[in-house]
Each structure stands twice: as C-alpha cells, then as structure tokens.
C-alpha cells in the first residue's frame, strides 16, 4: 500500500483535514500521515467542520516532520506552499505536490468550510493518482 504524507506549517488545520479525508476516502487504498514544519495542536474548528460531515479527527495528533523518514513515503503533499521549506529528501518522493491552500486559522467559519471542501476534491484526485502510480 502506498504511503502519503501531508505536511503544513503547523499541522493544525489543512493537513489534519487532509489526513481525515484520506483515511476515510482512501481506506484500504493508501496509508496516511500528517505533520508540520512545527507541531502545534489539532484546531478545534477543523475538528468541528470535519465532524459535521461525519469524519472524526479529534484523536489525530500534531507532529513535527522531523519525527518521520522521507524514504518511508511514496507521496508528499504540502498544503500551504511550504514545499520550498521542506528538506530536499521530502520534495524528491515519487509524487510531490504543493497545493497552496488558504490558512483558515483565524478566519471566519466560511473559510474553514471552503478550504475543507477544496481539500476533499484534491484528496479524491490524489487517491486515484497514487493508486495508478
């Protein structure tokens, strides 16, 4: 099974939502982890907007990218345009994408909904791409 790493600056909102979607939509197809350039917490509003569509991310953790080994992953997805800040070994995986999504932290609830829905579409396309690779 292919392994996917979602990475963001703080591993709080976007990467956590992506992990939740990928674990749900990609169940049995891909293995998924998320991390941040720095660790923080799983944002309460991210938990809320995912729970509203029956995806539970409250038990996910915010972990630093440095806890993981790039060679264990087939695909690396940056969600915040932070790809330029990633160590080279992460950028050189079989699949690397930089989605550059807006950071919903500190924004109105509508921003969380919009970003959540954008992530869902991108994760669906990613699962197909990774499976075909």
Active-site entry in 4, 5, 7, 8? 8
| Cα–Cα distance for residue pair 78/132, rounded to 1 Å | 20
pLDDT of residue 48: 98
Burial 94-109 (b: 16+ CB within 10 A, else e): eebebbebebbbeeee
Q: Which residues in the chain show pLDDT less than 70?
A: none
Model confidence pLDDT, tens digit, residues 25-51: 999 999 999 999 999 999 999 999 999
Look at residue 79 in the predicted model and tell me its pLDDT: 95
Is 80 an annotated catalytic residue? yes
Q: Could you give all domains of the chain from N- to C-terminal order, each with its CATH number?
A: 2-132 (3.40.50.2300)
**Residue from 7, 80, 86, 126 carrying the catalytic annotation:** 80
Enclosing H/E stretch for 89: helix 88-91
Other CB atoms within 10 Å distance of the CB of residue 89: 12
Report the pLDDT value the prediction gives residue 81, as an integer from 0 to 100.
86
pLDDT (0 to 100) of residue 83: 83
Contacts of 39 (CB under 8 A, 6+ apart): 10, 11, 62, 63, 64
8 a catalytic residue? yes
């Amino acid at each position: 099974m292919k392994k996917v790493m979602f990475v963001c600056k703080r591993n709080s909102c976007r990467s956590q939502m992506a992990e939740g979607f990928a674990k749900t939509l990609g169940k049995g197809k891909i293995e998924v982890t998320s991390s941040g350039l720095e660790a923080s917490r799983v944002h309460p509003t991210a938990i809320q907007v995912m729970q509203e569509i029956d995806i539970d991310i409250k038990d996910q953790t915010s972990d630093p990218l440095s806890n993981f080994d790039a060679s264990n992953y087939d695909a690396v997805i940056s969600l915040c345009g932070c790809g330029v800040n990633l160590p080279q070994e992460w950028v050189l995986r079989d699949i690397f994408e930089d989605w550059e999504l807006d950071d919903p932290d500190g924004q109105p609830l509508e921003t969380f909904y919009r970003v959540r829905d954008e992530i869902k579409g991108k994760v669906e396309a990613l699962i197909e791409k990774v499976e075909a690779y």
